[in-house]
Amino acid sequence: MSGTIGSNILSHSGTVAETAAGLNWVSTVVTASTVTVEAGNGYWINTTSNACTITLPASAEAGDNIVIVDFARTWGTNKIIIDSNGLNFQGNADTFTVEYTTSGQSVNLIYSDSTKGWIPLEDDVVADEPVQPPTQRALFGYGTTGSVVSLKNLVNSSGVIAADVTGVGSAREGLAAASYGGDKAIFAYGKTASLVSLKNLANNAGVIAADVTGVGTARQQLGATTFGLDKAIFGFGITASLTGVTNLVNNSGTVASDVSAVGTARNHIAGVGFGSSGQGIFRGGYTGSYVGISNLVSNSGVVASDVTAVGTGRSGSAGCTFGGDKAIFGFGYDGSAYTGITNLVSNTGVVAADVSAVGTARGSLAAAGYGGDKGLFAYGATGSYLSMKNLVNTSGVVASDVDGVGTARSLLAAAGYSYTA
């Protein structure tokens, strides 16, 4: 190490920022894809050829200082990623991803305490905004085999569906599910012998809690999606008649009262999240005819008006994420036959044209993301109940059927959970 500096560095905004006295600048420019840094040092990071993951010390004391600088002004092309190595970063746990993507930037980090952890002395609200990690596992629950059931099937980070686990809340069908709190899941609404207004929360280990009743209008055949990265929204469905009401869910799993309909009332609708900032989309359903209209959900949970259909209108389809920030809708019933067609959704919420079927045509199935950037469709019905899955790769390509993955059933729900693979 060489080049001791006792006073200042130049920040990305052109201002001079004071640093701890005695900061040592490491003379070798970092060009590797990974580097572990030490307190009291400054580092030149050259990302001309590749991105760089910077691992901070595993332990730190108040006042510890690290400075990193964009040596070649290329962070806008190849970013740096901060791995806080078990310590917090701006109050966020190490599971969150911190990226800097602005060319010419410098980052002056000071360690505060175990609660806030590392804090940038110059806080760039765009470049260092923590990015919530994706869920790694999935959970399929409830449904009907001709009779309503109370069971779940966990899915690991490789897309393998585990055996049935029974007795996980009131048996019911026609419910919906979504992730909330980042790494947990919520199942809500549906029909037992009658329509119900209840929820079951699932923790980040996939354990489903007991029923909680009284959470908005009782209904079934609705949809759900995440929004804002850690919240959820349930929408649409049928009571004695079709409805378009929605219910927001906060990041603690509390379901709010009904919000009046914005989109066209319909049932057998699908929902899924997309985008890096946590948007969502509802698509399809039945209004008296089979529709392909969609409604975008902002990252604050506001449902937009109908968007004209792209692709075949159908009910009983399902949606899951893939590729980190995109989504796919698949399968369903188009009014004359079950189908296996799919429609990709871009990271801006644009629904693409139909993609020809790969898996067995069916409806009333469920879908969820897994492995951080992949998804799967599973279960459903044609003239009989099915026990099969179709994996979706990081490009949105649907694989062929895999049979025998738990009790055959339909009208179930699914959601992602767990940051841990």
Q: Is residue 125 part of a domain?
A: no
258: domain CATH number is 2.120.10.80
Half-sphere exposure of 108 (CA within 13 A, CB side): 18
Cα separation values, 361 from 61, 223, 339, 410, Å: 59, 20, 4, 13
The one-letter amino acid code at 114 reads S
Cα separation values, 9 from 16, 57, 67, Å: 6, 21, 9
**Which pLDDT value is given to residue 284?**
97
Q: Is residue 235 part of a domain?
A: yes
DSSP-assigned states of every residue in 139-203? EEE--BSSSB--EEEEE-TT-PBPPPEE--SS--BS-EEEEETTTEEEEE--BSSSB--EEEEE-
Q: Is residue 128 part of a domain?
A: no
Q: Is residue 129 part of a domain?
A: no
Q: Comparing C-alpha atoms, which of 367, 369, 366, 374 is closest to residue 418?
A: 369
What is the reported pTM?
A: 0.77
Six-digit token string for 292: 């392909």
94: domain CATH number is 2.60.120.640
Domain count, the chain: 2
Q: Could you tell me the residue range of the domain that residue 247 belongs to?
A: 137-417
Q: Residues 82, 163: one domain? A: no
Distance of CA 116 to the CA centre of its chain: 25
Six-digit token string for 42: 């400054």
**Which pLDDT value is given to residue 107?**
92
Residues with Cβ within 8 Å of 237's Cβ and at least 6 positions away in sequence, in order, are: 174, 189, 219, 220, 221, 222, 223, 243, 267, 269
Q: Residues 185, 48: one domain? A: no
Q: Is residue 387 part of a domain?
A: yes
Picking from 90, 120, 150, the residue at the C-terminal end of a domain is 120
Spell out the per-residue pLDDT of the chain, length 421, in tens: 233 323 333 333 333 344 444 789 999 999 999 999 999 999 999 999 999 999 999 999 999 999 999 999 899 899 999 999 999 999 988 888 889 988 888 899 999 999 999 999 864 434 445 567 899 999 999 999 999 999 999 999 999 999 999 988 999 999 999 999 999 999 999 999 999 999 999 999 999 999 999 889 999 999 999 999 999 999 999 999 999 999 999 999 999 999 999 999 999 999 999 998 899 999 999 999 999 999 999 999 999 999 999 999 999 999 999 999 999 999 999 999 999 999 999 999 999 999 999 999 999 999 999 999 999 999 999 989 999 999 999 999 999 999 988 999 999 999 999 999 9
